[in-house]
Structure 1
Amino acid sequence: MRLRLLTASLLLLGTALRAADPAPALSLELGKGVTLPVVLIPKGTFMQGSPTDEADRGNDEMQRFVNLTSDFYLAKTAVTVEQFERFVQETGYRTEAESGPSGGFGWAGDTLVQKKEFTWRNPGFTQAPDHPVTIITYPDAEAFCQWLSKRVKRKVTLPTEAQWEYACRAGTTTAWHNLGDEAASNSIAWHKKNAGNQTHPAASSSVNPWGLHIGGNVAEWCLDWYGPYESGPLTDPVQTNQNLSDKPRRVLRGGSWSRDPKNTRSAARYRADARSRNADIGFRVLCSVAEVTPPPAPKSAPSPAATGGLLPRMDGGSETSVGRPSAPVTSSHPAPPTTSHDAQAHGTTPTETKGGPFDLLVGFMCLLCPLVVISLVIWLVVRAVKSKNQGAPPPVPGSRGGRTAGAALADALQQPSGSGRGPRIRLVEDGFWILVDLARGSTVRYVYRPHGGMDVSGQVQYQPGPDGQYVYTGAKPESVRVTEAGGQPMDDAFVYDSDNRDTRRDNAFDRDDNRPPTYPSAY
């Protein structure tokens, strides 16, 4: 008895120790001897972002408490050239840089330049199979994940921004996952000062406490759209709103061989258009712990042979199967007669007949009712339009609806504060927001004056988010005016000076929510 208890205790202890292992590994088989090692990341909580006293932090790294509720596997390194090539061999996939007319942005000796010959096969510098693959767009990375999901029978995706930082930190709270100073980053990340203008083997840097080679080498795509952090505490956060930046951009994490060491910090955030194809952009995959089992096959209907050539009916009767010769009926409930002629031929009395006068009348009414309803709707619409035209004042010649679009828009922009419309331009530390009543894609021209400087003119294709269209100027301007909107001159109708701002706080567009500004394209 004691021996059995001791054996059971040892087994339980071994199970507990294995469960407590922070980084057991698994190798995903890609075929032809190629594998992709992943590391188990345990669920947990952490402070995402950086403290205010961290050197070189970005103002978009506001700290928040995050709770991740599920374990997950994360690739030990960024996806390598060899692993991506295996995907291409099996599927024939062509990346966006290969299929597009202009190629990707490769290294031209002193800067990244777009040329047709620059693709993942040739980023402008020599790569070995174990280097991280580059010139990969977000859709390219998604295609790889979908292929891998089917091959390994696990759900494979890109990590969320929170999952990436949690795995990178591995329980640490310093700027980098080994120490808190820039000099320490040389051993854990390839960056602008030590990479020699190219990538290096994906597993050539020191690992973090959970066994991941993470940070530097290539910037890695995440699932999130870029935007200011939602304040915490949050559970399993992922940003699905694409309209929180100056244009829709996806998050990139980790820094790269072409960027400064500070960009390889655990909390550092970056962003780029989802179709950016640069020689310093790659990706890392995340996969589920549990294998994905295919859904059970639907129950098949009884075969005709099993029912004497008949398929069961919902009412307990039966009907002849379609597309097969009927076998002799052996059921104790033969099929009912279908016509009165059949009934008379068999000497029986039909219990139901079809096609009588009443059925014809019902069919005629079903056809007539929709025509009556449609006619009534058309009559009501014509009457309403006619009534509106009779009561409307005649339009001014040469205008639309009696007023020019420019005049209508100018009036809308100049409505007094008491109208409830609120200010239409809001100045922030790095630029300003424009909110106008204008169709998406229309051109808005503006002029702003930097502090102590001369007027600067510019234009933007109006693609507003919830707060309007953001324009980056690098510093808070003194004044802004809209000169043209949707092709209609505004005659400097709307001028906004930083010394003459609307102080009301009841308008969502103007409220002071301490939101950090968004930024221009990182690439």
Structure 2
Amino acid sequence: MLDLTPSYRLLPALILSFSTLPGCSFYYDAKAEDMAERQMETMVFVEGGEFMMGNPGGWDGSRDSWPPHQVVLDDFHIQKYEVTQKDFELFMAQTGYEPSDKRYEEMIDENPERFAGELPAVASWTDANTFCQWLGEQTGKNVTLPTEAQWEYAARAGGQMLRYATRNGKAIPDETMAAGPTPHARDGRPYDEMLPVKPGSFPPNPLGLYDMSGNVGEWVSDNYSKDYYQESPVSNPSGPEEGQKDIFDGDPYRVLRGGNFQDFGGNTTVTRRKGSQPLASETRGFRCTFSERAS
């Protein structure tokens, strides 16, 4: 039977061929059911409330995180860890889903080590969104990617004035997080190398959430607009209906949060925003959320 904990990512066609063998469908169904249960077990309850979203001044160097503005959120749950490559592969094997980014197999060939099972999943925005929706279908919950407001509120441990999503809001190399590329090493690993999702290489933030600053940039559900904070509604904002679009193919830009392992410290703060084409990259991952509020 196929080993679902490979050192490197298997090609989608190979995974699909195994999933169509006699008996394998039941095997993957059972594995996927267990995996969905595990995903939901990692959900952390976040009590809603009011906070000032955005850069209060000096937290990052971007203009699109200004001005700070009042936001009120309902209660929600968010995963304590980023989704792993292993679990994303299991989702693909069980459903026959193929990555939306046509460069996916080329990326595997160029950097197979990045597709190790316990690293964060390599996923386009569409892939990440589809995974969360599938998780919702398996569990009967309203599972989605977090909104940008939910992500920041959770990273700031309920909207506290914390610049980084760490145990004390500070970026201290080799203690709270890997703040960015440096010549130093931790357990033989340079800081500009990605670290596995579990059990978490550094302590979580006060809500128990891991790696929301500096491992991979995390997709959120919102369309991206550099001016959105000037018009954001107060209650449960979910991003602009239409944001910036790619000038060539018209695809909407989506928001990435948290920075990644290749970024310097200012890009890994809880307020830094990045608008991007919804493509897969070795520096991008995601986590899911759910709330009882109807979408």
Aligned to 2:71: 66
- Give the one of 107, 115, 138 matched to 1:151: 138
The corresponding residue for 2:161 is 173
Distance in 2 of aligned mates of 1:161 and 1:210:
17
The match for 1:240 is: 240
For 1:147, what is the secondary structure of its paired residue? helix
- Alpha-carbon distance in 2 for matches of 1:198, 1:149: 32
2 CA distance for matches of 1:244 and 1:128? 33
Query: Residue 84 of structure 1 aligns to a residue in which SS?
Result: helix
Preserved CA contact (<8 Å) 2:60 2:271: no
8 A Cα contact 1:40 1:71, kept in partner: yes
SS of residue in 2 equivalent to 1:132: coil
Match of residue 215, structure 1, among 213, 220, 224: 213
User: Displacement, 1:208?
Assistant: 0.6
Structure 2 counterpart SS, 1:223: strand
* Contact 2:179/2:264 (<8 A) preserved: no
Give the match for residue 140 of structure 1. 127
1:72-102 deviation digits (Å, cap 9, x = unpaired): 11011111112212211210111123xx2xx
2:49 pairs, out of 33, 44, 48, with: 44
Q: How does the TM-score come out when normalised to structure 2?
A: 0.73
- 1:10-21 aligned at under 5 Å gives the runs none
Deviation at 1:201, TM superposition (A): 1.4
SS in 2 for 1:125: helix
Q: Distance in 1 between matches of 2:75 and 2:150?
A: 10
SS of 1:234's equivalent in the other structure is coil
The match for 1:351 is none
Q: Distance in 2 between matches of 1:204 and 1:196?
A: 11
Match of 1:225 among 223, 242, 246: 223
Structure 1 runs of 4+ off > 6 angstroms?
none
CA spacing shift, 1:249–1:290, aligned 2, 3 Å = closer
Q: Structure 1's 185 and 176: CA in aligned 2 closer, same or farther, altered over 3 A?
A: farther
Tell me, yes or no, if the aligned pair for 2:50 and 2:70 is still in contact at 8 Å. Answer: yes
SS at match of 1:149: helix
Query: Secondary structure in 2 aligned to 1:96?
Result: coil
Match of 1:91 among 89, 92, 95: 95
Cα contact 1:72–1:286 (8 A) shared by 2: yes
Amino acid at match of 1:242: E
1:260 maps to which residue? 264
TM-score, scaled relative to structure 1: 0.43
Rounded to whole Å, the distance in 1 between the matches of 2:64 and 2:236 is: 19
Name the structure 1 match of 2:281.
278
Q: How does 1:309-458 map to 2 (within 5 A)?
A: none
Deviation at 1:259? 1.4
Give me the whole-angstrom Cα distance separating, in 2, the residues matched to 1:82 and 1:190: 26
* Residue aligning to 2:3: none
Check 1:144–1:160 CA distance in 2 against 1; reply closer, same or farther (3 A cut): same
Kindly provide the CA deviation profile for residues 393-434 of structure 1, in whole angstroms up to 9, marking residues without a partner as x.
xxxxxxxxxxxxxxxxxxxxxxxxxxxxxxxxxxxxxxxxxx
Q: Compare relative contact order (CA 8 Å, sep 6+) and give the higher one, 1 or 2.
A: 2
SS of the aligned residue for 2:221 comes to strand
3-state SS, counterpart of residue 113 of structure 2: coil
The alignment of Structure 1 onto Structure 2 pairs a total of residues equal to 244
State the partner residue of 2:106.
117
Within-5 A mapping of 1:183-198 = 183=172, 187-189=176-178, 191-193=180-182, 195-198=190-193
Identity of counterpart residues, as a percentage?
A: 32
- On the 8 A contact 2:180/2:264 being kept in 1, the answer is yes
Distance 2:221 2:194 in 1: 23
Alpha-carbon contact 1:125-1:198 (below 8 Å) kept: no
Q: Tell me which of 77, 82, 90 is aligned to 1:78.
A: 82
Query: Against the structure 1 CA distance between its residues 288 and 243, is the aligned structure 2 distance closer, same or farther, given a 3 Å change threshold?
Result: closer
Amino acid at match of 2:141: R
Alpha-carbon shift at residue 223 of structure 1 (Å): 1.0
Superposition CA RMSD, Å: 2.8
- Kept after mapping to 1: 8 A contact 2:170/2:176: no
CA shift in 2, pair 1:33/1:267, >3 Å: closer
Secondary structure of 2:155's aligned partner = helix
SS of structure 1 residue aligned to 2:134: helix
- Report the structure, 1 or 2, having the larger strand content: 1
What is the SS of the residue equivalent to 2:220?
Answer: strand
Call closer, same or farther: CA 1:91–1:209 in 2, change over 3 Å.
same
1:46 corresponds to which letter in structure 2?
F
